[in-house]
Amino acid sequence: MEVVREIYLDNAATTKTSDKVMKRIIDMCTEFYGNPSSMHNKGLESDNMIREAAQIIAKAVLCYEDEIYFTSGGTEANNLAIRGVSKANKKRGNHIITTKIEHSSVRNVFKNLEEEGFNVTYLNVDKEGYVNEEELKDAVNDNTILVSIMYVNNEIGTKQNIEKLGSIIKKKNVKTYFHVDAIQAFGKYIINVDREKIDLMSISGHKIHAPKGIGALYVRKGVRITPIIYGGGQEGGLRSGTENTSGIVALGETTKQTYKNLNVNTEKMMEFKTKLVSEIFKKVKDVYINGPEIDKSAPHILSLKFKDIKGEALLHSLSDVGIYISTGSACAAKKTDLSKTLSSIGLTDNEIYGTVRLSFSPDNYVDDIPYITDNIAKSVESIRKVLRG
């Protein structure tokens, strides 16, 4: 079927690389292509560009430039933080804490460490996806070396009160490190690593209009961490391998653009989300929001539960008319596993099957809402006709 119109509503999975960022990538590949480890001018030139990108990111989250380590993406940043800290601090304690709604790139590292003998606490969340502060307080003890909690949930958009959670952790045990997966929050919120008591924080470029395959980990000075990749000692020895210079510069450029336009962009996304929800509710019956109310959740994420619908059928039906959405999270979408986030907030299996995620960027237009909602209404009606008989 020929698609005449494309409306991309899957921006929590990945985003389109912006033109400005593309131009910087081309320049890096064709002009500033030196190896940053080379001692000649061409090497120094690209090394300087890496430093410049680190400065931009450091300025955005209020840390020092040499506390930013570039990685191949969010997954690697999460692995490095959790495995690197757990390994380096094993002698101090073997208790580590996370939540039941983390992305698989956190959850599966904890599972792996558990198999290696670490004692892991998985914190519950309430029906909107918020971590229970009392449960966290009770869980942290003298043996706890690390707590990892995501800033914004990628499926339902719940934004934790990181500052509060950070204070609880540090009050119970000042030596416990706090890692935050900020992959869905970076570029959407002002983050202040000091105020929020964050010791390590993961970010990813392709969620904010840079290409896939670039990310970064903030590591507070003094945090004890070991590498998970060994080699030539790049990135202060924490992440060996010739730097992805074009990706790094792209991440710097996109960070600069994103934070320059932060308020305008988040307002635009919130307006789009609010209008979209209101139109969907007018045209479709038996549809509910998963997670917090729309003005409390992240501006770019909307999780909807439709009664008597298979989310996958809705996804395909919309895809045929050029509207791109997802079922749970993209990484889990191709697996048969049911979403851990949705089951943790209390959804039944049927409700999980009936859930879709729509996620936005500032490039979405309010003018497209009638087309989107007409097609949602049409698709829902025909799927229900089949399912309800």
Ligand X SMILES: Cc1ncc(COP(=O)(O)O)c(C=O)c1O
Chain residues binding ligand X by CB under 6 A are 73-75, 78, 103, 105, 150, 154, 181, 183-184, 204, 206, 215, 331
Q: Which is nearer to ligand X, 102 or 199 (CB)?
A: 102
| Structure-token pair, residue 287 | 């549809």
Nearest position to ligand X, beta carbon: 74
To which residue do tokens 């791109």 refer?
324
Rounded to a whole number of angstroms, the minimum distance from the CB of residue 296 to ligand X is 18
Indicate if 29 belongs to the active site.
no
Nearest to 198 by CA among 245, 126, 154, 149: 149
Nearest distance, CB of residue 177 and ligand X, angstroms: 18
Q: How far apart are the first and last CA of the chain?
A: 27
CB of 174 to ligand X, least distance (A): 27
Q: Which is nearer to ligand X, 250 or 309 (CB)?
A: 250
Which residue among 331, 333, 338, 377 is the active-site one? 331
- Shortest reach from residue 93's CB to ligand X, in Å: 25
Q: Tell the smallest beta-carbon distance from residue 132 to ligand X (Å).
A: 20
Q: Tell me the two tokens of residue 142.
A: 């003298």
Tokens of 336: 């048969």
Nearer to ligand X, 160 or 373 (CB): 160
Residue 75 or 364: the one with the smaller Cβ distance to ligand X is 75
Q: Among residues 193 and 280, whose Cβ is nearest to ligand X?
A: 193
Residues marked active site are found at 331
